[in-house]
């Protein structure tokens, strides 16, 4: 439901960001990790809009490296409060919020008796005292949203306002960001649908060389790109939203990161293409197009930069693959004759055009026969990507973490594979149900 709301309000980036900071990340920690008492106390007024929430993670010296935050919470002598000190920067709703989800370092005693600093999440009310904020930042885009520094000086937070477990704040932060990253996809898709509509109206009425702009192939190509990007990101978003809605709060961190990367870059590219079609009109402040361009630029930065998210997507996937392939890779490195010969034989078959069948098609297949060609391409890409991953792990081993250009390519392939999966799933469902415009979706999936 929130994803759909994100589409509806998406033409104003400032409103979208304000709501997302409140709903998608600000109160999400309470919803996912809060106790029943915390939920009963805070969620009703946050849901009604009587109170506004903000998410306080980023600091002057820690952006992508969340583990390096310096804000500290110290347990009081009577063990009834944590005393919070530190500053957060670029906090959306920072000057408006009544309730903050704040992340701070706390001392935690490990099972071996040693004391370590770990991140803990807290629910902090402005009324606790010691909470101040700076003036609103003067930004390139999303200028209607409130973004400012938030300072905590000897703020006394009741121990009952620890969110989740002491030392478990990193998990709370990541779960909240997953929701925010996923919601970006629906907001961008909604904005692009309206942008395509407005740009198409211009292209169908603007004449050059005695022809409408819409009749020229290069202009049609731009519309095709925008429509394709929109369809893919919308498919990825709602597939991921469906996963997130499943009971038990499943781990969808990689999927959410892929939605964020694809949607943010798709927005920037598509808005740029729209301005190219609009010409000088798109550059004028009297029209909404230049604002959409400015608003879109931040999408590649917040909720985790796309560079960091690509590293996360690739390394998390490779970590899982490494666990599955460890024994085989060790045998290859040790020169196990049987394993080496099996590998050579398999690669020879691949080079000769091995048929790949992962069960997407056929009588028991998961997709409609009309999209079988796309399903076969997906199966082949997944299979050969698996072989590539095996080769990378064999070549680089643990040093793969330093090969950022390789990891970027791995992440790009994963994002494309997820996009293909989402599109095939959606198009297949539309055909089976006989939904309106399913024939157009068939064109999109190609």
Instruction: Give, for 308, the enclosing helix (H) or strand (E).
Output: helix 306-333
Domain end call among 124, 140, 167? 167
Q: What is the DSSP letter of 446?
A: -
Domain end call among 121, 144, 167? 167
Residue-wise pLDDT for 315-332, tens only, equals 999 988 877 666 666 665
Q: Which of 97, 101, 87, 80 is CA-nearest to residue 31?
A: 101
Phi, psi torsion values for 90, nearest 5 degrees:
55, 45
pLDDT at 372: 82
Residue 88 domain-assigned (yes or no):
yes
Residue 321 domain-assigned (yes or no):
yes
Residue 245 domain-assigned (yes or no):
no
Q: Which of 157, 179, 144, 51 is CA-nearest to residue 104?
A: 157
- pLDDT surpassing 60 at residue 140: yes
pLDDT at 10: 86
The predicted model gives 299-316 an average pLDDT of 95
Residues 231/279, Cβ–Cβ less than 8 Å: no
Residue-wise pLDDT for 427-446, tens only, equals 888 888 887 777 776 666 55
Average model confidence (pLDDT) for the chain?
90
pLDDT at 446: 59
Residue 93 domain-assigned (yes or no):
yes
- pLDDT surpassing 80 at residue 150: yes
In this structure, are strands 99-109 and 53-56 parallel, antiparallel, or unpaired? parallel
Domains identified in the chain, total number = 2
208 - beta bridge partners? Answer: 211
The predicted model gives 29-33 an average pLDDT of 94
Residue 87 domain-assigned (yes or no):
yes
The predicted model gives 307-314 an average pLDDT of 96
Q: Could you tell me where the beta strands, DSSP code E, fall in 164-217?
A: 207-208, 211-212
Q: Identify the band that residue 221 occupies on the pLDDT scale cut at 50, 70 and 90.
A: very high
For residues 303, 307, 312, 313, the Cα torsion angle rounded to the nearest 10 degrees is 100
Residues 250/242, Cβ–Cβ less than 8 Å: no
pTM: 0.90
Full residue range of the structural domain in which residue 72 is found: 13-167
**Is residue 142 exposed (0-12), middle (13-18) or buried (19+ Cβ within 10 Å)?**
buried
CATH number at residue 339: 1.20.140.10
Catalytic residue, from 7, 255, 290, 303: name it. Answer: 303
Residues 292/324, Cβ–Cβ less than 8 Å: no
How far apart, in whole angstroms, are the C-alpha atoms of residue 134 and residue 146? Answer: 11
pLDDT at 114: 86
Contacts of 302 (CB under 8 A, 6+ apart): 90
Phi, psi torsion values for 94, nearest 5 degrees:
-60, -35
Q: Identify the band that residue 343 occupies on the pLDDT scale cut at 50, 70 and 90.
A: low
pLDDT at 186: 93
CATH number at residue 162: 2.40.110.10
How far apart, in whole angstroms, are the C-alpha atoms of residue 402 and residue 406? Answer: 9
Q: Which residue carries 């973490």 as its tokens?
A: 401
The predicted model gives 295-319 an average pLDDT of 94
pLDDT at 338: 60
Q: Of 369 and 180, which is predicted with more confidence?
A: 180
How far apart, in whole angstroms, are the C-alpha atoms of residue 70 and residue 81? Answer: 19
How far apart, in whole angstroms, are the C-alpha atoms of residue 436 and residue 446? Answer: 18
- pLDDT surpassing 70 at residue 33: yes
Residues 419/239, Cβ–Cβ less than 8 Å: no
The predicted model gives 137-143 an average pLDDT of 96
Q: What is the DSSP letter of 135?
A: P
Instruction: List the end-to-end C-alpha distance of the chain, in Å, as a whole number.
Output: 29
Residue 254 domain-assigned (yes or no):
no
Residue 223 domain-assigned (yes or no):
no
Domain end call among 121, 136, 167? 167
pLDDT at 136: 96
Q: Identify the band that residue 113 occupies on the pLDDT scale cut at 50, 70 and 90.
A: confident
Q: Identify the band that residue 91 occupies on the pLDDT scale cut at 50, 70 and 90.
A: very high
Among left, alpha and beta (phi > 0; psi -120 to 50; other), residue 91 is beta
In this structure, are strands 147-158 and 211-212 parallel, antiparallel, or unpaired? unpaired
Residue 40 domain-assigned (yes or no):
yes
pLDDT at 341: 55
Is 290 catalytic? The answer is no
User: Both tokens of residue 132?
Assistant: 């101040």
How far apart, in whole angstroms, are the C-alpha atoms of residue 93 and residue 430? Answer: 39
pLDDT at 348: 53
Contacts of 238 (CB under 8 A, 6+ apart): 3, 186, 426
pLDDT at 345: 56
């Amino acid at each position: 439901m929130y994803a759909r709301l994100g589409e509806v309000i998406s033409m104003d980036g400032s409103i979208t960001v304000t709501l997302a900071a409140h709903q998608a990340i600000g109160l999400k920690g309470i919803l996912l990790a809060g106790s029943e008492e915390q939920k009963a106390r805070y969620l009703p007024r946050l849901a009604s809009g009587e109170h506004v929430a903000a998410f306080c993670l980023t600091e002057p010296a820690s952006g992508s490296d969340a583990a390096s935050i310096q804000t500290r919470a110290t347990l009081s002598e009577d063990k009834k409060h944590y005393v919070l000190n530190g500053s957060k920067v670029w906090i959306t709703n920072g000057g408006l919020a009544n309730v903050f989800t704040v992340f701070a370092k706390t001392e935690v005693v490990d099972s071996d008796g040693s004391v370590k600093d770990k991140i803990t999440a807290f629910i902090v009310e402005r009324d606790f005292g010691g909470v101040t904020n700076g003036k609103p930042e003067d930004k390139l885009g999303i200028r209607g949203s409130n973004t400012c520094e938030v300072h905590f000086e000897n703020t006394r937070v009741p121990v009952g306002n620890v969110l989740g477990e002491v030392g478990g704040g990193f998990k709370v932060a990541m779960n909240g960001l997953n929701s925010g990253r996923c919601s970006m996809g629906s907001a961008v898709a909604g904005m692009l649908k309206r942008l395509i509509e407005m740009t198409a109206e211009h292209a169908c009425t603007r004449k050059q060389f005695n022809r409408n702009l819409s009749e020229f192939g290069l202009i049609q190509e731009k519309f095709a790109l925008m429509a394709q990007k929109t369809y893919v990101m919308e498919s990825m978003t709602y597939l991921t939203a469906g996963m997130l809605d499943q009971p038990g709060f499943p781990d969808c961190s990689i999927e959410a990161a892929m939605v964020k990367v694809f949607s943010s870059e798709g927005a920037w590219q598509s808005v740029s293409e729209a301005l190219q079609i609009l010409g000088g009109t798109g550059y004028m402040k009297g029209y909404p197009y230049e604002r959409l361009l400015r608003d879109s630029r931040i999408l590649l930065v917040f909720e985790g930069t796309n560079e960091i998210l690509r590293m996360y997507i690739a390394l998390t996937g490779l970590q899982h693959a490494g666990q599955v392939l460890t024994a085989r890779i060790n045998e290859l490195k040790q020169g196990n004759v049987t394993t080496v010969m099996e590998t050579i034989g398999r690669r020879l078959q691949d080079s000769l055009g091995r048929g790949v069948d992962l069960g997407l098609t056929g009588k028991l297949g998961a997709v409609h026969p009309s999209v079988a060609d796309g399903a076969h391409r997906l199966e082949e890409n997944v299979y050969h990507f698996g072989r590539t991953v095996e080769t990378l792990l064999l070549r680089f081993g643990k040093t793969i973490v330093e090969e950022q250009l390789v990891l970027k390519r791995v992440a790009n392939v994963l994002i494309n594979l997820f996009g293909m999966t989402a599109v095939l799933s959606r198009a297949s469902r539309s055909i089976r149900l006989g939904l309106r415009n399913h024939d157009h979706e068939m064109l999109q999936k190609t």
